[in-house]
């Protein structure tokens, strides 16, 4: 289909304004900053875990890391507090029409099970980038799938059915806490 | 004073076995590992926040960070969950006979106030390395000091009086959660 140049550009602009081009991580960081500014919740992304092997340290203020390696994370990426509750989640994007479980490390599963057992709220945020759809999936729902199934990926339809679609808006960009309100404080989907 | 060589060495060995030489961070990491193994609490140190400016990335598994800088932390170093509650703290050592407030960033104060307002448990663990004494100081006690005083350090005697001394033992090495039990779940010192 061919549009006059002007209209095409406008469509493109509107789409950019929405969400395309922003990674899920950026969207969540912006959302968490909004939650903090509005004093709704205090949730942060943890820094990327690394092992530092070489540092140039001429003086206290000018240290430069000259060699370091990425470590496999033993916990999830995000945690914090909301309505007095401990919150813990991992966020992943996939280009595929299913969610490959290889995206989640065994350590992270163990960690989240521990968190839930101790009374915390644990979940996943999964984005299908081709569809531009983002879902919240409760930790227990993912664990049920792993225990019952031998498949190495969760089908899109399973997540669509058992998860909670997070609609994207301007501010907060992906308002996942409204689902946490419904699931954990009001008791379930609807 | 002069001892026969044998006795001197033995004394040295016993002391090492106890605590000297271990940093507060190491002690807390070992303690947190114990809490996790015993399924008492799930508390971790966050990775050190850095800004990566150069990465060698020949393939997915062999990334090497070639240049990075330490960032000023915007939160505290440790957080997690205990008895269903969100836990958040910062740990600092000082060689002096007082605790210089320059050890704590303004961001960290703001962060901990936010945490406490949202129903979390926020505190500091402070070690006087010369005395080899470690104290738990509630967040609110430190904030009271800052609001009332213009001094740039908290005197040792203030921390001794208002804080909770954590006795060091073999396992868990510094059992700070027994104080949290007393302060937050049973209601106060004694």
- Give A168's DSSP letter: B
Q: Is the pLDDT of residue B1 over 90?
A: no
Check CB contact of B41 with chain A, cutoff 8 Å: yes
**3-class secondary structure, A38:** coil
| pLDDT tens string B7-50 | 333 333 333 334 456 899 999 999 999 999 999 999 999 999 99
Q: Which residues contact A5 (CB under 8 A, 6 or more apart)?
A: none
Q: Which residues contact B52 (CB under 8 A, 6 or more apart)?
A: A48, B65, B67, B68
First to last CA, chain A: 39
- The whole-number pLDDT of residue A59 equals 77
- Residue B47's alpha-carbon distances to A50, A76, A112, A168, B104, in angstroms, are 7, 12, 18, 30, 17
Rounded to 5°, the CA angle B44-A102-A143 comes to 70
DSSP codes joined into one string, A41-97: EEEEEPPPPEEEEEEE-SSTT--EEEEEEEPPPSS-SEEEEETTEEEEEEEEEESSS
- The whole-number pLDDT of residue B22 equals 85
**Are A86 and B81 within 8 A, CB to CB?**
yes
Q: What percent of chain B shows pLDDT beyond 70?
A: 86
User: CA quadruple B144, B150, B153, B158: dihedral positive or negative?
Assistant: negative
CB pairs under 8 A between A and B: 98
Interface of B with A in 78-107 (CB under 8 A): 79-86, 88
Nearest partner of A67 among B61, B65, B71, judged by Cα: B65
What structural domains does chain B harbor? 21-185 (3.40.1350.10)
ipTM of the modeled complex? 0.85
């Amino acid at each position: 289909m061919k549009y006059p140049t002007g209209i095409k550009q406008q469509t493109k602009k509107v789409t950019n304004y929405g969400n395309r081009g922003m990674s899920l991580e950026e969207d969540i960081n912006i959302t968490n900053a909004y939650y903090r500014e509005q004093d709704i919740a205090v949730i942060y992304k943890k820094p990327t875990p690394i092992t530092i092997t070489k540092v140039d340290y001429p003086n206290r203020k000018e240290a430069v890391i000259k060699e370091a390696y990425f470590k496999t994370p033993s916990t999830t990426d995000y945690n914090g507090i909301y309505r007095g509750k401990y919150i813990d989640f991992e966020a992943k994007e996939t280009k595929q029409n299913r969610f490959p479980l290889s995206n989640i490390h065994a350590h992270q599963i163990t960690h989240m099970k521990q968190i839930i057992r101790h009374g915390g709220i644990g979940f996943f945020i999964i984005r299908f980038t081709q569809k531009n759809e983002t879902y919240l999936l409760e930790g227990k729902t993912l664990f049920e799938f792993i225990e019952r199934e031998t498949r190495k990926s969760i089908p899109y339809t399973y997540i669509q059915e058992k998860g909670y679609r997070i609609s994207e808006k301007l501010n907060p960009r992906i308002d996942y806490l409204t689902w946490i309100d419904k699931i954990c404080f009001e008791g379930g989907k609807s």
